Amino acid sequence: MSVVPGVPPARYAYLGPEGTFTETALRSVPAAAKAELRPCATITIALDAVRDGEVDGAVVPIENSVEGSVAVTLDELAVGEPLVITREMTVPVRLTLLGRPGSDLFAVRRVVTHPHAAAQCRRWLAKHLPEAEVVQAPSTAQAAQMVANKEDEYDAAIAAPLAAEKYRLSILAHEIGDNGDAVTRFVLASRPAPVPPPTGADKTSLVAFIGDDHPGALLEVLEEFSVRGVNLTRIESRPTGTALGRYCFSIDAEGHVTEKRVGEALMGLRRVCADVRFLGSYPRVDKLPPTMRRGTSDDDFRDAEVWLARLRAGEGA
Amino acid sequence: MSVVPGVPPARYAYLGPEGTFTETALRSVPAAAKAELRPCATITIALDAVRDGEVDGAVVPIENSVEGSVAVTLDELAVGEPLVITREMTVPVRLTLLGRPGSDLFAVRRVVTHPHAAAQCRRWLAKHLPEAEVVQAPSTAQAAQMVANKEDEYDAAIAAPLAAEKYRLSILAHEIGDNGDAVTRFVLASRPAPVPPPTGADKTSLVAFIGDDHPGALLEVLEEFSVRGVNLTRIESRPTGTALGRYCFSIDAEGHVTEKRVGEALMGLRRVCADVRFLGSYPRVDKLPPTMRRGTSDDDFRDAEVWLARLRAGEGA
Amino acid sequence: MSVVPGVPPARYAYLGPEGTFTETALRSVPAAAKAELRPCATITIALDAVRDGEVDGAVVPIENSVEGSVAVTLDELAVGEPLVITREMTVPVRLTLLGRPGSDLFAVRRVVTHPHAAAQCRRWLAKHLPEAEVVQAPSTAQAAQMVANKEDEYDAAIAAPLAAEKYRLSILAHEIGDNGDAVTRFVLASRPAPVPPPTGADKTSLVAFIGDDHPGALLEVLEEFSVRGVNLTRIESRPTGTALGRYCFSIDAEGHVTEKRVGEALMGLRRVCADVRFLGSYPRVDKLPPTMRRGTSDDDFRDAEVWLARLRAGEGA
Amino acid sequence: MSVVPGVPPARYAYLGPEGTFTETALRSVPAAAKAELRPCATITIALDAVRDGEVDGAVVPIENSVEGSVAVTLDELAVGEPLVITREMTVPVRLTLLGRPGSDLFAVRRVVTHPHAAAQCRRWLAKHLPEAEVVQAPSTAQAAQMVANKEDEYDAAIAAPLAAEKYRLSILAHEIGDNGDAVTRFVLASRPAPVPPPTGADKTSLVAFIGDDHPGALLEVLEEFSVRGVNLTRIESRPTGTALGRYCFSIDAEGHVTEKRVGEALMGLRRVCADVRFLGSYPRVDKLPPTMRRGTSDDDFRDAEVWLARLRAGEGA
């Protein structure tokens, strides 16, 4: 996706508006440096732009270290035309309180922000602005815009520092998040393409659909991983959109689809589940290598294959 | 909580504004009939009103059959002063397209709604309003209000029928949700109190915190349930708010805390987990009785207790 | 092993002496019809004759429906030069009471037999010969011989009807076993050779050696089978001959080594165990087809392999 | 069972004849010092003497570090009038080659012994007496007796050193067993009586009968132990005496029936199995304390019970 004379530049969609953490995430992708970036009003619109071939990829939030998964992203990836994740990025959630230039922290009565950001600043707000009312906005960037545009309604917004510049606001307080090390995780989704090569510290995402909701169905799914020594980093049962009570499991596992233990676990799921959707193998942003259990390396699998072939040929145990 | 002369009426908080599905859910609680109802701007504010003793309970959304769990509710219940769930309710998600009186469906260019509602109407929108732009609002009720107030910005809102009346809008299209049977699940949270008696079709909610994130930690948690024949209806791994990678599990299980198989499973979790937070046992709104495995009824447990006592006393096998 | 002019006939060893149930078992093997049959004093001698190339195979008892496994056979197969089981046979245990011609049931004071046979006739003996002393012999055939040769020591033997003829004894009582349907299982062991083709109702025998005796080691072994839907028909932990407390597991599983679910389970064992010794796949004598769990047929495995190859090639989920 | 004036001495049965390892085992029981000891011809006779009240207890072999379990003992304990194990003992298997006084090792042509002893001396025999024939006897003591009495038939016996004295034989070779540290395990069985108090290093024996032989039945049994952190030291599937294919499991587990984790595991078995027979809790002869998993001590169980009681009373999480 590098820029070559005569070759059109890459295009990326992302959850807008400009100035959000999602744009920050996208800018960490090397190929995005000279690419055309398109902010989208919703996650759905951003992913549909990939499906329709209008862009080469889309960056959307998928998980927040404080607030958990982004349901829309999980569900959009789980159904419809297949998309795969080719990269993950994290952006530290450094939240600031933004007001109009010249405004005073002590005069703040109405704060506007996204509910997740509000939750992350709960202790700070209780201590410094115990009387302030907190109002919800669809995103932190929109909250900043609302403070800039509606002087009579909102006094301050909780948003990223980047938004101060964009909406010409002042920072009334820095780093007001209760957990210093909170981060948001984003993914770059694209149309199915050859899987990026394993790096030794990879993650594989998938959705496993359960046929009938018998007791032990979840345990069955988990054993396909555990028996091959594949550790999970995230799991969520999710309704499948038909009625409460019928489920699928959205899963992130350690390892890469080209590794034998991961491949065998995936095949196991394919056999016991009603359906499995592979959402990609990609490098872990934290570069943590997987926890490897004895007997689960590719060499161990190869040795066992040779041994089985000998047994079947009658060449002894 | 009935109204007796000289006794102040019960008070309930709920996620506002008025006219949302949450109010509909609260109105299905018998004790709410003559109670004082207080709409709150956020889930956090509603639950804090319970914690502070300002109200007797709060109704908040916890899960949507299309969109999954409501992260803020799960997280607010998982930490802070303990609250318990004493009742669950579901409200069918009947979505309508609302416009200003006299407006025309074919002239709709900008639709405003909550992202979850937008996702539920995707197919309808693609078919009937393929050109329309969809804009996010913090709630469906606020979307309706925005259509009523900002004539130049939005043409229509996707919201509950109830909102038409409240904001003096017309229904441009009925039941536009893609899944006829979609519902939202709400819970009534209150301060710890004696558990409501078992009804034979109950659910128990809890949060299990994992001490160290070793491979197989999740399997260990699930086996505490499965070995006692307790089926799960929902599970989610969730970051604990310190850093991505340290998890707890938010779980709904079949059965009631006073049942022996459920009690033993809870004690098992208490022993293997770093911490367990009990979030209540309450009647299932769908009245489905649990799937009972052979050997897991209260009678089976009692028989085994008598047998063990005899063994220990040396009275033979 | 058919008899062709100029080709020496097949030779089989078996646990002697002549006239035991083991000879009956061997005679049910078609290839034994024109073969040279060699009775051996011990199971060890019979199996060593195969290892040394003196015979083509050996028939030895491995399990008795009343008494359980024959430890010597299991242990001889588990160590030393590899042997494989190519056939199993069962012989109904029809036990009779044999005395010298002209002797009287009511005069029997001392009965001699193998301890297993004695156990199988316990209730009959208690009822019909409550005063008789029961003495152990190394085999039922030897017991018959002892009655024939030592008139002053033993009055009667419990043995197979076949022994009456061989040692010129009379049958004092027919079918005196307490369980009408008791059987002994025998196996034909030979040097490693191409595995007999699957019949649709096969059994696979093996020994799994545990490296370190950590808690859960056995569970780990069993999960390698259960996760691939392979049911076990026999399992025994056995000390490995070094000290009490270090174990291996002697296992019979449903299915054939050439079947994919069995092959994958064997490879799984190979990876997690210190060592695995394959003891052969062979037709079940009871012709019972395996219990097949959904998703574990060879077709299911092949479908999953094709799917994984597509994923790895980036051809979508 | 101490000897008090006017109180009759204790009586013990054991598997005879005199001079076997079983007598050695019995003599290690303090209460046997001044007791009446009765050798029995078979394990069945010894155990029946306990059931009938003729003796206070019986010592029988149950497991051999080389050869595995003694099927007759396991099966006799599994059925009939209940007996419990109150003590285990081990006796090192020091095997010697015994011949008539004045005989010569190099002239030995026929060796007689029990098959288990023969197996333990295989390598020694192959090296020192490669030409000798090995003949089976019902016990090592009887083999010694046969050498003493039948000069023309047998040249030497493999037996315990104790037998040399009893049958006036000479030791031709010392410690000829292939595994220096082989031992035989014996148990003292008595009628049901108050369980001996826990010592901190105990073992619990039991038999679990499976109702229907569904796939996963064994896994179900093992999970009842593993979920409570109870490690097994021995397991054997055994036919139940009706037909090959219906099984029970004979199990030794770490810990004592009065410990909470063991008690709960036993109750779990009682609930999922067709039947469970408790065979006693008794001190481990090797004094090895159990492997304790986090969260499974009696204190952990008590803490969980208090916690659950608080939950049920509505006193908060």
Gyration radius from chain C CA atoms: 23
pLDDT at D7: 64
Q: Do C68 and D74 touch (CB under 8 A)?
A: yes
CA–CA dist C287, A247 (Å, integer): 40
Q: In this complex, which of B69, B215, B242 lies closest to A291 when CB atoms are compared?
A: B215
CA–CA dist D188, D198 (Å, integer): 17
Of the residues D86, D96, D184, D204, only one is catalytic, namely D184
Active site residue D186: yes
Chains that touch D (3 or more CB pairs under 8 A): B, C
Q: Do B223 and D223 touch (CB under 8 A)?
A: yes
Q: Residue C153: is it exposed, middle or buried by C-beta count within 10 angstroms (0-12/13-18/19+)?
A: exposed
pLDDT at B258: 97
Q: Residue C139 pLDDT > 80, yes or no?
A: no
Q: Residues A226-264: pLDDT tens digits?
A: 899 998 888 888 776 554 446 789 999 999 999 999 999
Q: Residue D139 pLDDT > 80, yes or no?
A: no
Q: Residues B292-311: pLDDT tens digits?
A: 888 999 999 999 999 999 99
Q: Do D237 and C236 touch (CB under 8 A)?
A: yes
ipTM of the complex: 0.83
CA–CA dist B115, A44 (Å, integer): 9
Q: Residue B316 pLDDT > 70, yes or no?
A: no
CA–CA dist B20, B163 (Å, integer): 7
DSSP track, B68-98: EE-HHHHHHHHSSS--EEEEEEEEE---EEE
Q: Do the Cβ atoms of D268 and D226 come closer than 8 Å?
A: no
pLDDT at B213: 60
Its CATH architecture, for the domain C7-93+182-193, is 3-Layer(aba) Sandwich (3.40)
Residue D45, classed as helix, strand or coil, is: helix
Q: Residues C52-90: pLDDT tens digits?
A: 999 999 999 998 765 567 777 888 898 889 999 999 999
Q: Residue D244 pLDDT > 50, yes or no?
A: no
How far CA D239 is from CA of B114, C174, D135, D225, D266, in Å, comes to 64, 24, 29, 22, 21
And the tokens for D14? 């054991």
pLDDT at C1: 42
Quickly state the pLDDT bin for A208 (edges 50, 70, 90). very high
Instruction: Pick D292 or B214 by higher pLDDT.
Output: D292
Instruction: Pick A8 or C21 by higher pLDDT.
Output: C21
End-to-end Cα spacing for chain A: 52
Nearest CA in chain D to B316: D192
Q: Do the Cβ atoms of C252 and C233 come closer than 8 Å?
A: yes
User: What is the mean pLDDT of the segment spanning C145-158?
Assistant: 89
CATH number of B96-173: 3.40.190.10
Q: Residues D103-138: pLDDT tens digits?
A: 999 999 999 987 778 878 888 998 899 888 888 776
Q: Residue A215 pLDDT > 70, yes or no?
A: no
pLDDT at B7: 64
pLDDT at C31: 87
Q: Which residues of C are catalytic?
A: 184, 186
CA–CA dist D304, A201 (Å, integer): 39
CA–CA dist D170, D163 (Å, integer): 10
The sign of the CA dihedral A52, A54, A57, A58 is negative
Q: Do B277 and D311 touch (CB under 8 A)?
A: no
Helix orientation angle between C43-51 and C71-78, rounded to the nearest 10 degrees: 20
- Say which CATH superfamily domain A194-317 falls into: ACT domain (3.30.70.260)
Of the residues D21, D86, D186, D296, only one is catalytic, namely D186
CATH number of D7-93+184-193: 3.40.190.10
CA–CA dist D112, C188 (Å, integer): 27
Q: Which of B214, B221, B224, B267 to mutate to test the interface with D (most CBs of D within 10 A)?
A: B267
pLDDT at A243: 47
CA–CA dist A100, B307 (Å, integer): 74
pLDDT at A1: 42
Smallest Cα distance from B96 to chain A, Å: 18
Q: Do C307 and A267 touch (CB under 8 A)?
A: yes
pLDDT at D214: 62
Q: Residue A36 pLDDT > 80, yes or no?
A: yes
In eight-state DSSP terms, residue D6 is T
And the tokens for B256? 């009631």
Single-letter amino acid code for the residue at B19: G
Chains that touch A (3 or more CB pairs under 8 A): B, C
And the tokens for D126? 């192959």
CA–CA dist A69, A74 (Å, integer): 8
The 10 Å Cβ neighbour count of residue A288 is 12
CA–CA dist D130, D136 (Å, integer): 17
Q: How many contacts (CB atoms, under 8 Å) link B and D?
A: 106
pLDDT at B45: 86
Most confident range (mean pLDDT) of B167-176, B211-220, C160-169, D173-182 is B167-176
Q: Do A218 and B215 touch (CB under 8 A)?
A: no
Beta-bridged to residue D15, according to DSSP, are D40
Quickly state the pLDDT bin for C2 (edges 50, 70, 90). very low
CA–CA dist C268, A304 (Å, integer): 8
pLDDT at D67: 57
DSSP track, D61-80: EEEETTTEE-HHHHHHHHSS
Q: Residue C13 pLDDT > 90, yes or no?
A: yes
pLDDT at B64: 73
CA–CA dist B70, A65 (Å, integer): 15
Q: In this complex, which of C74, C234, C239 lies closest to D237 when CB atoms are compared?
A: C234
Average pLDDT, chain C: 87
Helix orientation angle between A217-226 and C217-226, rounded to the nearest 10 degrees: 110
Q: Residue A118 pLDDT > 50, yes or no?
A: yes
Average pLDDT, chain B: 87
Q: Which residues of B are catalytic?
A: 184, 186
Single-letter amino acid code for the residue at B276: V
Domain extents in chain A: 1-93+183-193, 96-173, 194-317
Of the residues A113, A184, A204, A296, only one is catalytic, namely A184
The 10 Å Cβ neighbour count of residue D313 is 12
Q: Return the H-helix or E-strand segment holding D23.
A: helix D21-27
pLDDT at D317: 56
Q: Do A66 and B239 touch (CB under 8 A)?
A: yes
pLDDT at B148: 93
- Say which CATH superfamily domain B8-93+183-193 falls into: Periplasmic binding protein-like II (3.40.190.10)
pLDDT at C217: 77
Q: Residue C129 pLDDT > 50, yes or no?
A: yes
Q: Residues B84-118: pLDDT tens digits?
A: 999 999 988 789 999 999 999 999 999 998 877 88
The 10 Å Cβ neighbour count of residue B143 is 27
Q: Do D312 and B271 touch (CB under 8 A)?
A: no
Q: Do the Cβ atoms of C206 and C273 come closer than 8 Å?
A: no
Q: Residue C170 pLDDT > 60, yes or no?
A: yes
Q: In this complex, which of A192, A267, A316 lies closest to C316 when CB atoms are compared?
A: A192
Smallest Cα distance from C284 to chain A, Å: 18
H helices present in C181-292, as ranges: 217-226, 260-272
Q: Do A193 and C311 touch (CB under 8 A)?
A: no
Quickly state the pLDDT bin for B241 (edges 50, 70, 90). low
pLDDT at B6: 61
Half-sphere exposure in the Cβ direction for A247 (13 Å, CA): 22
Active site residue D21: no
Q: What are C's interface residues with A at a Cβ cutoff of 8 A? A: 82, 84, 192-195, 223-224, 226-228, 257-258, 263-264, 266-268, 270-272, 276-279, 294-296, 300-301, 303-305, 307-308, 311-317
Q: Which residue has the tokens 């009055």?
A: C155
Q: CA dihedral defined by D221, D226, D231, D233, rounded to 10 degrees?
A: 30
Instruction: Pick C137 or B261 by higher pLDDT.
Output: B261
pLDDT at D100: 95
CA–CA dist C35, D200 (Å, integer): 60
**Does domain A1-93+183-193 sit in CATH 3.40.190.10?**
yes
Smallest Cα distance from A224 to chain C, Å: 7
Q: Do A316 and C263 touch (CB under 8 A)?
A: no
The 10 Å Cβ neighbour count of residue C144 is 32
Of B234, B125, B120, nearest to A242 (Cα)? Answer: B120
Q: Residues C203-245: pLDDT tens digits?
A: 999 999 987 666 567 888 888 998 999 988 888 887 765 544 4
Q: Do the Cβ atoms of D91 and D21 come closer than 8 Å?
A: yes
pLDDT at D65: 63
Q: Residues A48-73: pLDDT tens digits?
A: 999 999 999 999 999 876 556 777 78
With contacts defined as CB-CB under 8 Å, which chain A residues touch C300?
271
Q: How many contacts (CB atoms, under 8 Å) link A and B?
A: 165
Q: What are B's interface residues with D at a Cβ cutoff of 8 A? A: 82, 84, 192-195, 223-224, 226-228, 257-258, 263-264, 266-268, 270-272, 276-279, 294-296, 300-301, 303-305, 307-308, 311-317
pLDDT at A43: 85
User: What is the mean pLDDT of the segment spanning D299-316?
Assistant: 92
CATH number of D194-311: 3.30.70.260
Q: Do the Cβ atoms of C115 and D116 come closer than 8 Å?
A: no
One of 3.30.980.10, 1.10.3720.10, 3.40.50.300, 3.30.70.260 is the CATH number of B194-312, namely 3.30.70.260
Single-letter amino acid code for the residue at D34: K
pLDDT at A38: 95
Q: Check if B8-93+183-193 and B194-312 are the same fold.
A: no
Say what the pTM is: 0.82
Average pLDDT, chain A: 87
User: What is the mean pLDDT of the segment spanning A156-180?
Assistant: 88
C33 CA to centre of own chain? 21
The 10 Å Cβ neighbour count of residue D9 is 16
Reply yes or no: is the peptide bond before residue A17 cis, omega within 30 of 0: yes
Q: Do C271 and A195 touch (CB under 8 A)?
A: no
Quickly state the pLDDT bin for D296 (edges 50, 70, 90). very high
